[in-house]
Structure formats: structure tokens, C-alpha cells
Structure 1
Amino acid sequence: MKHCFRIGLYKQGLLHDMSKYLPSEFLIGCKYYQGTRSPNNAEREVKGYSAAWLHHKGRNKHHFEYWTDYSLEQKGAALVGVKMPRKYVAEMLMDRIAASKVYNGSKYTDHDPLAYYQNGKTHYLLHPETADQLEKLLHVLDKHGEDVLFDFVKNRYLKKRCGLDRIHKPVRCDAVKHLI
């Protein structure tokens, strides 16, 4: 919530992951809670799937899995990633940062969210443009830290004042221009 607030997504910050408090997610979360990783993975190991995750991803637009659909193309994948609106990409980014902090605790570094993304990105059903935006934003975090990233996301990315290819000085983002 506090990360969403820092980038100006107040409503999304307040409503973020509210479905976790519904019995279909909350009770499973309590049962499989470990503190170092998602309880959904523990449920998945026991059952072969996570009922809580299936419920959660269908109700929370900041998860890229929400943004999948059947392809109309006869060739290629049957399911494809759909381009995500920027406000949900930004919320997903904040969620990844917060989750990395929770799971890594005092060992957290600004590289952790990028490393986690890179470790699984070959399996993600993300629209190519969404994947490109997310990865570039994670690189900004890795190289320049939260303050520069959050400033850029709030003042440029969400306001569409420039694309990820045009970052400049007024928002202290000139240092990241070469990355994006």
C-alpha cells in the first residue's frame, strides 16, 4: 500500500489485494503460511494447484495472469498475454518490490525484484510491450534505487509524459536514460 501511495496510486493502494481477506484465500493463506515464500506455492505442492491463487488472479488486475486471453491466431500459443494498462503495470511493480522485501527480509536489495523476474520470465504469459516496460522499470530500480524509480513512475510513466525511451532531468531521471 505505501509503495502505491508513493507513486500516487491511492485508490489502488487502499484496495490492493482485498480479495486476500475472503475466506477462499484467507483460510488457505493461514493454513500454508511459511513467511519466506507465497503460501500459494505450498498449497500447489500439496494439491497440484492453488485454489487461492486461481481465485486471486482473476480478481486483481495488477497480476499479469489476469491479462490473459485466447488468441485468435491459428498458429502459435492458444493463450496470450494482453497489454496491461500502465496503472496496473505500476501496481504490479510495487507489488513485486514489496513481496521481495517481505520474502528476503533484512537481506533485501534493489536487485531482488529484477532477479526474481528474470528467473521466471521465460514462463510468463506477458504481452511483449508489458514485459518490456516491467523489465526496464526493474532495471531502473536495480541500478538507481527506489527514489529515482518511484519519481519516474509517478511523474512520467503514469502521466504518459514520456515513454520509457525518454527520461530527462526535471524528474531526476537523466541518470537512467541509457537504460531505457
Structure 2
Amino acid sequence: MHILGHFRTITKHKILVAKGCFKVGLYWQGIMHDMSKYSPTEFIPGARYYQGNQSPNNIERRKYGISRAWLHHKGRNRHHFEYWIDYSLNPEAKCLVGMKIPKRYMAEMLVDRISAGKIYKKNDFTTESPLEYFNNGIGASIMHEASKDYLMMLLTMYAKKGEKETFRYVKRDLKEDISGYDKISPFEKTGSVVIG
């Protein structure tokens, strides 16, 4: 068990996310970010499988084929796209789809991805790291199209223009919807995962 190492890592991450959220005007979300990681359901496996260079959930998943800590976490934290997976609104379809994610959680998701990259990649982190991580993951295949496109736009902006300009844009977008994201219908076509 690596209690102190895990505690330091999740707390350092939480503080980084809080600072980022404060910069974009999401004060309460910054304070409350990832509080479930301190619950026994998430903290104990986190300390048990801690390595410091990747999520302990990955280690638990490799060992058991499932990460109970992750299932607990994603069901309580709206800044994860997995929180927003639901059955299709189309009664003919038998599939799971991504629902459109409210912009304030998209902003927290951006800050979370940046902060996680800084924590786990340390000196190897670049402004392109969060975009590369997203492109190598599964999010693009199941996220609501508008949410995926919005996140890709923000990650690309971060890669090209850096944190200060991206956070300035996000803060303004949260107030004024300069991106037009809020005007997009949640009923527009989205990626899906077929069941059966």
C-alpha cells in the first residue's frame, strides 16, 4: 500500500484542477473536484495499485478485468464523459450513446485532462499531451458529437496557443457562449455503441 504517495498524487491533482477551474470561473467545481477519490471505495484501491505514473484504476482493471474504483468514480463525477452515457432516445435503436455534456462540465473535463497529464507525465508533459491522450482513447467514439467537437476544439487550442489563452477563451465562452455550443440541440446525431 502506498497511502502517502497516492494521497499526495490525488491531492496535487485536485489542487491543480482547482486552480484551473478558478481561472475559468468555476469556483465550486474547483473546490469539489474529485472528492470521491477520498472515499474508501476509491482511495483504498488507489493506494493499493499506486505507481505514480498512471492511474491506479488501470492496474486494478488489468488485474481483475474491472476497476470498481473507476465505476464508483465515473458515476459521481460529471466531468467524465462516461457519466453521460445512456440509452439512445431512439426507441428503435438498441445502443448506448453519449449525451450532450453541459459546458461547465466540459470546461472541468478540459482542466482535469490537462492537470492529469501534468501529474503523470511530469517533465514529459507538453501542451499537445492532452490532445494526444484524447486521440488515443475511446472518448471520440461514443461522446455526443457536439461535446466531442467542443473538447477537440479546446484541446487543439491548448496545444497551439497554450493555457493562458485557452482558459481565457473558456471563461468568456462560459459567460457569452461565443462557441455556440449551448445553442446545439442535445438531440443531434451522436456516436453510439450497439448492444447485441
- TM-score normalized by the length of structure 1: 0.86
Deviations along 1:35-83, whole A, 9 cap, x unmatched? Answer: 1110000000001000000000000010110011111325556100000
Aligned with 1:159: secondary structure? helix
The one-letter amino acid paired with 1:66 is Y
Number of the residue aligned with 2:8: none
- Alpha-carbon offset, residue 159 of structure 1: 1.1
In the alignment, is the contact (CA less than 8 A) between 1:133 and 1:164 conserved in 2? no
1:31 to 2:71 alignment? no
1:48 and 1:32 mapped to 2: Cα distance?
Answer: 14
CA distance in 1, matches of 2:38, 2:146: 32
- Of the three residues 71, 77, 83, the one matched with 1:60 is 77
Structure 2 partner of 1:158: 174
* Closer/same/farther in 2, CA of residues 122 and 12 from structure 1, 3 Å limit: closer
Letter in structure 2 aligned against 1:142: A
Q: Give the Å deviation of 1:87.
A: 0.2
Of 40, 43, 59, the match for 1:42 = 59
Q: Do the aligned residues in 1 keep the contact of 2:84 with 2:101 (CA within 8 Å)?
A: yes
Distance 1:34 1:150 in 2: 30
Look up the equivalent residue of 2:176 and give its one-letter code: K
Unaligned ranges ≥5, structure 2: 1-17, 182-196
1:1-180 mapped onto 2 (5 Å cutoff): 1-74=18-91, 78-121=95-138, 124-155=141-172, 157-163=173-179
Q: SS of 2:86's equivalent?
A: strand
Alpha-carbon separation, structure 1, partners of 2:140 and 2:102: 21
Give yes or no for contact 2:97–2:142 (8 Å, CA) kept in 1.
yes
Q: Which amino acid aligns with 2:43?
A: F
Match of 1:171 in 2: none
Structure 1 runs not aligned, ≥5 long: 166-180
Give the drift of 1:121.
4.1
Note the aligned Cα RMSD (angstroms): 1.6
Aligned equivalents of 2:156, 2:53: Cα separation in 1: 24
Cα distance in 2, alignment partners of residues 75 and 101 from structure 1: 43
User: Using the alignment, how far apart are the partners of 2:148 and 2:77 within structure 1?
Assistant: 18
Count of residues in Structure 1 that have an aligned counterpart in Structure 2: 164
- TM-score, normalised on structure 2? 0.80
Report the Cα offset of residue 125 of structure 1. Answer: 2.1
> What is the identity percentage for the equivalent residue pairs of Structure 1 and Structure 2?
51
